[in-house]
Amino acid sequence: MAVSHVSEDEKALIEAIREIAQERVAPRAAEIDHSGEFPWDMKELLASHDILAMPFPEEYGGIGASELAISMAVEELSRCCATTGLILAVQQLGSMPILLAGNDEQKRKYFPQLASGEWLAAFGLTEAGSGSDAAAMQTFAVRKGDKYTLNGSKRFITNGGLAQVNTIFAITDPQAGTRGISAFIVEKDFPGFSVGRIEDKMGIKGSQTAELIFENCEVPVENLLGGEGEGFKIAMRTLDRTRIGIGAQALGIAQGALDLAVAYAKQRVQFKKPIAENQGIQFMLADMATKVEAARLLVYHASELVDDGDEQFSKYSSMAKMFASDAAMDVTNDAIQVLGGYGYMKEYPAERMLRDAKITQIYEGTNQIQRLVIARALLSERNS
């Protein structure tokens, strides 16, 4: 276990979450994957234990948990069910722009219901033609009196159609490039806001991913986050923080796969002995364990840099997300190999873990984008 510096209260909370995950979440994981339906019971479970309150300050109804504690919570949940771990991670993602750029009135309006779990949050940046190139978005907003009118659409939005609170990014000045993008809080029942296609995904199948459509959608001026033109900066600052949660999700998936592989290797007998006694299997398990622990160190380190207010955290958050998600793909793939034919069957969770792991290399910035972030930070440091 990697060294961590959480308070005694947070340590007790993480231990409680681990117990909840093993006793309540794990038994639901296969059915959540099979049905492809959002697990409202898991959302209620997290809400009833104040787990969804972790990312929110105490003055707004949350518990003000450290970034490290949030990462550890996402890890423990994802170790048993990646979809359930994502509920907490996206509650933080969707609300982070409000935390970073919202005023006190906006926080008091939205945070208590988000912290209680009564409301879900979503983050709307990606579009059909604008993924890694976020600046290529086409959704635009025009101010008309005391309202903005939004037109366009967003694609691949986690919690899309379920979230009552959506942070949406749109162009307010087409001539200003990224400085012409603004951020808005869009409520689910605003006129002109609707849900398009629901995606049929490879993994995290219980997490709803949807298209959001804006047709003359009316948004009050007071729902602008920050000032006009600050949206791109808000989005990038948000992703710098929240991609650590994806690293934690990947870490949890990898740890779950390692647990499965070790347990199976001990009980599976071939040639009159457990396959764990074969050096080839031992070497695979050793490599898997090393990757998991290295990923944990990076995820925890990046989390603590955020807690310490270290300006270097962005580079390390990219490292943590990139390495942990690559490790998750390697470890889940190896877990299937250890289980052999059984690993390929849905009777065992290994194949689900691999399908769930894949998305961690893609969303909240592909791993190719993370490598760009890391390289640019390194070159900037060298030049300075």
Q: State the catalytic residues.
A: 364
Instruction: Report which DSSP code applies to 21.
Output: I
Which of 142, 221, 239, 152 is CA-nearest to residue 192? 152
Contact 178, 170 (CB under 8 A): no
Interatomic CA distance for residues 213 and 187, integer angstroms = 13
CA separation, residue 76 to residues 85, 252, 255, 266 (Å)? 8, 6, 9, 23
Three-state secondary-structure class, residue 375: helix
Q: Give the integer Cα–Cα distance in Å for 190 and 216.
A: 10
Q: Which residues, at least 6 apart from 30, have a Cβ–Cβ distance to it below 8 Å?
A: 346, 349, 352
User: Is residue 91 a contact partner of residue 111, using CB atoms and an 8 Å limit?
Assistant: no
> Are 89 and 74 contacting, i.e. CB atoms less than 8 angstroms apart?
yes
Q: How many CA atoms lie within 13 A of 121 on its CB side?
A: 30
In sign, the C-alpha dihedral spanning 189, 193, 197, 201 is negative
Close Cβ partners of 383 (under 8 Å, ≥ 6 residues apart): none
Helix H segments across the chain? 8-20, 29-35, 40-48, 67-80, 82-101, 104-116, 231-267, 279-308, 313-339, 350-359, 367-383
What would the two tokens of residue 290 be?
A: 């090393």
Q: Pairing mode, if any, of strands 121-124 and 165-171?
A: parallel
Identify whether the C-beta of residue 336 lies closer than 8 Å to the C-beta of residue 351.
yes
Half-sphere exposure of 271 (CA within 13 A, CB side): 4
Cα pseudo-dihedral 30, 352, 21, 331, rounded to 10: 160
